[in-house]
Amino acid sequence: MLQQVNGHSSSPDAHGRKALREELQEFLSREAPLHLLDDLTKVNPVTLETVLRCLQARYKAETFYTNAGCTLVALNPFKHVPQLYSPELMREYHAAPQPQKLKPHIFSVGEQTYRNVKSLIEPVNQSIVVSGESGAGKTWTSRCLMKFYAVVAASPTSWESHKIAERIEQRILNSNPVMEAFGNACTLRNNNSSRFGKFIQLQLNRAQQMTGAAVQTYLLEKTRVACRASSERNFHIFYQICKGASTDERLQWHLPEGAAFSWLPNSERTLEEDCFEVTREAMLHLGINALTQNNIFKVLAGLLHLGNIHFADSGDESQPCQLMDDAKCSFRTSASLLWLPEDPLLETLQIRTIRAGRQQQVFRKPCSQAECDTRRDCLAKLVYARLFDWLVSVINSSICADPNYWTTFIGLLDVYGFESFPDNSLEQLCINYANEKLQQHFVAHYLKAQQEEYAVEGLEWSFVNYQDNKICLDLIEGSPISICSLINEECRLNRPSSAAQLQTRIESALAGSPCLGHNKLSREPSFIVVHYAGPVQYHTTGLVEKNKDPVPPELTRLLQQSQDPLLKVLFPADPEEKSQEESSGQSRVPVLTVLSKFKASLEQLLQVLHGTTPHYIRCIKPNSQGQAQTFLREEVLSQLEACGLVETIHISAAGFPIRVSHQNFVERYGLLRRLHPRLSLVPHSPSDVGHTEWSARAEVPTLQPLLQDIFHSLPALTWAAATPGDPAEATPAPVHCGRTKVFMTDSMLELLELGRAQVLDQCAHCIQGGWRRHRHRKQERQRQAAVLIQAATRSWLTRKHIQRLHTAATIIKNAWQKWRIRMAFLASKELDGVEEKHLSQAPCSRSAFPLPQAQTQLLAAIIRLWPLGLVLANAAMGMGGFQRKLVVWACLQLPGSRPSGYTIPTAQEQAGVASIRALPQGSIKFHCRKSPLRYADICPEPSSYSVTGFNQILLERHRLGHV
């Protein structure tokens, strides 16, 4: 029974292991919903299957952007999502303190590059490489990034600069529809496929404001004007002028409704890109006026009519091919639109000129039907290529800023996606060659360089096997023998090229390369190159002729004879060019081939990228049909494998993307030693910052103690930044110190920047406190000084006032004393005169002349109040008029001058003494109403002791008179 069980245990055991694996996978995937994982490095485990499932879950949840370590993965939604690219969302990412904590987006990549430029971290210039297959959304991504920079990189201070910035932004954005109209086309995989590569350089000034831009193009697919696949279309601009021209413009350009053109296939399809008004308005904003636009569209209409020219086989090599009957009208129309003379145009297309011999004898040879078609196509391609280059130069002159006005730039690289069609020729070889170079740049920058640098710096690192495409690049561009060198050599031999012979040479010379293959079932001569994205079969038929890109000199001379204003600009008459052509025919100097030109421009582009900090956006196409909410796992899986995304995720998850040299690390984060004062090498004084900078410039061995001192402060910094109650956040982030650099993760960099900001905040508070203390003390000293000055001023003013009062009082006192003395003297003199008079007269008896009682009382009052009268007479204020005079008269009229002659003898007169010095000393009482007291209204008898002096004498005399 046991053996029977063991004998049948193999199948149940295999099923059990599979079930266990599925259960474990389900358990790991339940840790977090896949659509909530913003970074593919967090999937558990990191495999192609889990990455694919995560992307699919996020795509179904309409989350189209996902981080993959150092790369952003962008899934094409194949539908409009307006809220995903609104200006409000742009400002939200721009204003966020930490945009990397927001949801993954192309705006987060754009904001990171913009902040890197502002922080001036070497290298300052930034670049974003947008890659992916055709139709994955590279053009749309570049367009949205340009809109983002136009919004966030424009913050002028004045109204005039604001208007200038708006004009620059509008021109930069308007360059997109013009470039797409003349350089994009509908292909089998994409309705708006870029048929050229472009590197857009957004130029920023010192204030990080966008001041201009520059566009550099690579390898326009000009053959599309005359030749393309059956299901593909020509460039968008041809369909735009045919569908959007007005009635008058159709008459002027000879484009009637329903006209058929050989070079305008699939015109019945209507695309979003067939909007003629948008292109015209954009050209107007770029400085191309209506007249110039009319000339451009007229030339394009002439090229369409040129495509309807067909030749009939002459049957005799000595006779030129003649135009077919239905092509004569198109020929005349094309000649009139291009302003070319008909006879020279027809002769140039029918007959070719050959120079031979030392004397450069000219021979004229009629062309075959195929050669006539080739020369016609060459004429159209030449005109369109010159027109496209002229448009690029106009755009650059309109949006490019002066080199003195910008200091840094952010580059956007939008190149052709990897292409593999049933019939692949030189264009696909150049496109895939460019993608191989960019893949190598990515591998060298993020994968290979990281692992090699970890080994050099002495970090413990488990190496990851990544897909290196160096073998494939050596096959294409290697030295001394490669595919490019063999094709160029065939062009230099100046002999009729054979497709089979070229295939044989390539297979025999490069047979040892593992990336070269051969399709034995193919009927046409071809070779296979195993690219990083998959094998591609290239046909050798016509490969050498396309690489030569021959332009007959007679075609150029014919176009120089055109009277069209635009063609005169595109083909200026240059006598030096003619002499160079003649000398080149004598010396047989080889002309640069298409591959040589493309390789040189690609090397120049890579030099620019190596001088910047690159950022990568991988665009993924969920399906090849362009349907929304359709996720085909097989197609996405092939793209993930091709771009090496899984290896990128592995290295990004385990690696350290931030690498800073020891000196730069100490210079920037030396302030963190303030968080660990016991281990600091120098005392924390106000001059500590300056000492740190001086120490950072010291020798390398002296930096180790400073680095250790900074590392000792990291645990305290981690605990300070951790959320209370979350021990996971309190775990120190990994940081390693290599031989010459410090390696850390993004989280560690964020933590260091947070600690540095805290230290700078503390220093700012300390500086502010010291400044406030200094300002308070200064204000207190100023207040005390002001109080002292005010007190001294008030004291001086008070003393001056008192002195003036004392002086005035002294003057008044002296004047009063003088007046008293004078009055005393006058009174004494008058009394002395009265006494003399009384002594000289004989005394009379009072009873002989009795006076009336009223007169007696009045006289007594005058006698009693005469000093007061003197005072009133000499005072500044007092009585006025008659009363004043009366009082003065009564006071001064002594009894001797009375008309009655009555005299009142006094004791002083009897004794011979007269004096007024004795003043009344009794009190005077006034009663306003009758008192309730008894006898209160009876005046008491004056006591003889209450009145003294002269008044007493007068009263005694009065009493004697009554007696």
| HEC readout, 58-74 | HHHCCCCEEEECCEEEE
- Greater confidence, 310 or 960? 310
Q: Give the residue ranges of DSSP H helices in 893-947.
A: 907-911
Q: How far apart are CA 482 and CA 665, in angstroms?
A: 45
Kindly give, in sequence order, each residue whose CB lies less than 8 Å from that of residue 723, ignoring residues fewer than 6 positions away: 729
The amino acid present at 31, given as its one-letter code, is E
- Greater confidence, 358 or 595? 595
Q: How far apart are CA 438 and CA 417, in angstroms?
A: 11
Kindly give, in sequence order, each residue whose CB lies less than 8 Å from that of residue 445, ignoring residues fewer than 6 positions away: 614
Q: pTM to 2 decimals?
A: 0.66
The gap from C-alpha 756 to its chain's centroid, in whole angstroms, comes to 23
For position 422, what pLDDT does the model report? Answer: 85
Segment 45-66 shows an average pLDDT of 87
Q: Residue with structure tokens 């297979």? A: 507
Q: How far apart are CA 209 and CA 367, in angstroms?
A: 58
Kindly give, in sequence order, each residue whose CB lies less than 8 Å from that of residue 108, ignoring residues fewer than 6 positions away: 72, 93, 99, 100, 102
Report whether pLDDT(240) > 80. Answer: yes
Structure tokens at 103: 């949801």
| Cα angle, residue 434 at apex, residues 429 and 438 outer, rounded to 5° | 145
Segment 376-385 shows an average pLDDT of 94
Least confident of 412-426, 654-668, 728-742: 728-742
For position 37, what pLDDT does the model report? Answer: 84
Report whether pLDDT(410) > 70. Answer: yes
- Greater confidence, 616 or 710? 616
Segment 253-268 shows an average pLDDT of 90
Give the 3-state secondary structure of residue 479: coil
Question: How many CB atoms are closer than 10 A to CB 121?
Answer: 14
Q: Are 569 and 456 in contact (CB under 8 A)?
A: no
Q: How far apart are CA 216 and CA 223, in angstroms?
A: 20
The amino acid present at 615, given as its one-letter code, is H
Peptide linkage before 123 cis (omega within 30 of 0): yes
Segment 27-43 shows an average pLDDT of 67
Please count the CA atoms within 13 angstroms of the CA of 647 that sit on its side-chain side: 19
Q: How far apart are CA 138 and CA 416, in angstroms?
A: 9
Interval 726-754: pLDDT, tens: 444 444 556 777 778 887 776 777 788 78
Q: Residue 410 forms beta bridges with which residues?
A: 126, 202
Segment 117-130 shows an average pLDDT of 82
The amino acid present at 576, given as its one-letter code, is E
Report whether pLDDT(565) > 70. Answer: yes
Q: How far apart are CA 901 and CA 124, in angstroms?
A: 131
- Grade residue 48 by pLDDT with cuts at 50, 70 and 90: confident
- Greater confidence, 120 or 723? 120
Nearest to 151 by CA among 177, 127, 169, 175: 169
For position 108, what pLDDT does the model report? Answer: 94
Interval 941-952: pLDDT, tens: 555 445 455 455
For position 219, what pLDDT does the model report? Answer: 84
- For the chain, the average pLDDT equals 78
For position 866, what pLDDT does the model report? Answer: 54
Cα first-last separation, the chain? 182
Q: Are 553 and 581 in contact (CB under 8 A)?
A: yes
DSSP string, 250-284: HHHHT--TT---TT-TTTT---TT--HHHHHHHHH
For position 455, what pLDDT does the model report? Answer: 78
Q: How far apart are CA 201 and CA 149, in angstroms?
A: 12
**CB burial class (10 A; 0-12, 13-18, 19+) of residue 188?**
middle
Structure tokens at 508: 């025999």
Q: How far apart are CA 678 and CA 556, in angstroms?
A: 81
Rounded to 10 degrees, the C-alpha dihedral 724/726/730/734 comes to: -150
Q: Residue 312 forms beta bridges with which residues?
A: 322
For position 902, what pLDDT does the model report? Answer: 44
For position 881, what pLDDT does the model report? Answer: 56
**CB burial class (10 A; 0-12, 13-18, 19+) of residue 887?**
buried
Report whether pLDDT(373) > 70. Answer: yes
Interval 293-309: pLDDT, tens: 999 999 999 999 999 99
Question: How many CB atoms are closer than 10 A to CB 940?
Answer: 7
Nearest to 339 by CA among 551, 566, 556, 552: 566
Q: Give the residue ranges of DSSP H helices in 630-687.
A: 633-642, 645-654, 662-669
Report whether pLDDT(77) > 90. Answer: yes
Q: Are 186 and 193 in contact (CB under 8 A)?
A: yes
Q: Are 711 and 666 in contact (CB under 8 A)?
A: no
Q: How far apart are CA 236 and CA 184, in angstroms?
A: 6
Segment 191-199 shows an average pLDDT of 88
Q: What is the largest CA-CA distance in the chain?
A: 193
Report whether pLDDT(483) > 90. Answer: yes
Q: How far apart are CA 761 and CA 435, in angstroms?
A: 48
| Cα angle, residue 636 at apex, residues 630 and 642 outer, rounded to 5° | 160
- Grade residue 758 by pLDDT with cuts at 50, 70 and 90: confident
Structure tokens at 163: 């208007």
Least confident of 545-559, 649-663, 785-799, 840-854: 840-854
Interval 874-891: pLDDT, tens: 554 445 555 555 555 555
For position 7, what pLDDT does the model report? Answer: 39
Report whether pLDDT(495) > 90. Answer: no
Rounded to 10 degrees, the C-alpha dihedral 529/535/536/541 comes to: 40
Structure tokens at 284: 């107007």
Share of the chain above pLDDT 70, in %: 71
- Grade residue 164 by pLDDT with cuts at 50, 70 and 90: low
The sign of the CA dihedral 231, 234, 239, 240 is: positive
Kindly give, in sequence order, each residue whose CB lies less than 8 Å from that of residue 64, ignoring residues fewer than 6 positions away: 58, 74, 75, 76, 77, 81, 84
Question: How many CB atoms are closer than 10 A to CB 22?
Answer: 10
Q: Residue 323 forms beta bridges with which residues?
A: 311
- Grade residue 687 by pLDDT with cuts at 50, 70 and 90: very low
- Greater confidence, 198 or 451? 198
Report whether pLDDT(176) > 50. Answer: yes
Interval 803-838: pLDDT, tens: 999 999 999 999 999 988 988 888 888 777 665 665
For position 625, what pLDDT does the model report? Answer: 84
For position 932, what pLDDT does the model report? Answer: 58
DSSP string, 76-95: --SS--GGGG-HHHHHHHHH
Give the 3-state secondary structure of residue 233: coil
Q: Residue 308 forms beta bridges with which residues?
A: none
Phi, psi of 60 (to 5 degrees): -70, -30
Q: Are 635 and 622 in contact (CB under 8 A)?
A: yes
Least confident of 294-303, 319-328, 685-694: 685-694
- Grade residue 187 by pLDDT with cuts at 50, 70 and 90: confident
For position 200, what pLDDT does the model report? Answer: 92
Interval 324-364: pLDDT, tens: 988 999 999 999 999 999 999 999 999 988 877 677 777 88
**CB burial class (10 A; 0-12, 13-18, 19+) of residue 480?**
exposed
For position 940, what pLDDT does the model report? Answer: 56
Question: How many CB atoms are closer than 10 A to CB 905?
Answer: 15
Report whether pLDDT(872) > 80. Answer: no
Least confident of 246-255, 386-395, 706-715: 706-715
